[in-house]
């Protein structure tokens, strides 16, 4: 595990951050086409295992780039976003809250995409416990790992001011409450969802 900067925990997540990583065409990390593709996958997976989604929670929602494409595919769902960024909350209407303080609600689908690398080990572990408490069905989860940094991401675009941990670190902790379905999809072990054993990784 390596933390690359002592300032990561205090990252401001202000306007400049969101413009750099999400708005500016030369420096952004995803396009509207990427967002739509991710949402088609999530919606298809939920439909495939017959998980009816009426409440979606997006934890660390940022610009809310999954909101519109997901609601188009799941028109009966309600979407709630939370974020620690005052800027994002004011601009997009999210609840101003940290993932570690998630203390109410039950959601059929929880999204937590590229958030936990901003938390130190102790807080990230607590955050995974909160996700397990609030998720009653499917979790779509991703976080930049040390393997991703070395092998998968575009280092010229990706924020390195984070806590890089091994994939194994996340899998062990997520595995306590979730079955890993692959592709970033996890099913809560207590959810009334049938996941055939060869469809799950653990
Ligand atoms: C890399 S962005 C990802 C945004 C969005 N999930 C996406 O994939 O587009 C990280 C987001 O996590 C938020 N964040 C960081 N720490 C958080 C925390 N403790 N609780 C909730 N959100 C947090 C930031 O404000 C920022 O919006």
Domain residue spans in the chain?
27-199
pTM of the model: 0.94
Could you tell me which residues come within 8 angstroms of residue 99 by beta carbon, excluding any fewer than 6 positions away?
A: 59, 60, 82, 112, 115, 116, 119, 127, 130, 131
Question: How many angstroms is it from 159 CA to the middle of ligand 1?
Answer: 12
The model's pLDDT over 130-179, given as tens digits with 9 standing for 90+, comes to 999 999 999 999 999 999 999 999 999 999 999 999 999 999 999 999 99
Give the pLDDT confidence score for residue 32 in this predicted structure. Answer: 95
Nearest CA to ligand 1 atom 11: 60
The model's pLDDT over 183-193, given as tens digits with 9 standing for 90+, comes to 999 999 999 99
What's the CATH code, domain 27-199? 3.40.50.150
Cα–Cα distance for residue pair 2/159, rounded to 1 Å: 14
Cα–Cα distance for residue pair 84/45, rounded to 1 Å: 29
Nearest CA to ligand 1 atom 10: 115
Question: How many angstroms is it from 88 CA to the middle of ligand 1?
Answer: 9
pLDDT at 10 over 80: no
Nearest CA to ligand 1 atom 20: 98
């Amino acid at each position: 595990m390596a933390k690359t900067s002592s300032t990561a925990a205090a990252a401001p997540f202000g306007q400049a951050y969101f413009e750099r990583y999400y708005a500016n065409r030369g420096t952004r990390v995803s396009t509207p086409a990427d967002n739509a593709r991710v949402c088609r996958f999530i919606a298809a997976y939920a439909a495939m295992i017959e998980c009816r989604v009426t409440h979606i929670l997006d934890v660390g929602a940022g610009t809310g780039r999954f909101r519109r494409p997901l609601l188009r595919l799941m028109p009966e769902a309600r979407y709630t976003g939370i974020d620690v960024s005052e800027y994002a909350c004011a601009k997009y209407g999210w609840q101003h809250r940290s993932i570690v303080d998630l203390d109410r609600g039950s959601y059929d689908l929880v999204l937590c995409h590229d958030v936990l690398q901003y938390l130190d080990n102790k807080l990230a572990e607590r955050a995974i416990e909160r996700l397990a408490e609030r998720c009653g069905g499917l979790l779509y989860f991703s976080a930049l790992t040390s393997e991703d940094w070395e092998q998968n991401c575009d280092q010229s675009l990706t924020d390195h001011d984070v806590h890089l941990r091994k994939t194994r670190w996340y899998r062990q902790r997520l595995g306590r409450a979730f079955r890993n379905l692959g592709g970033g999809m996890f099913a809560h072990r207590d959810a009334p969802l049938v996941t055939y054993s060869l469809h799950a990784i653990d």
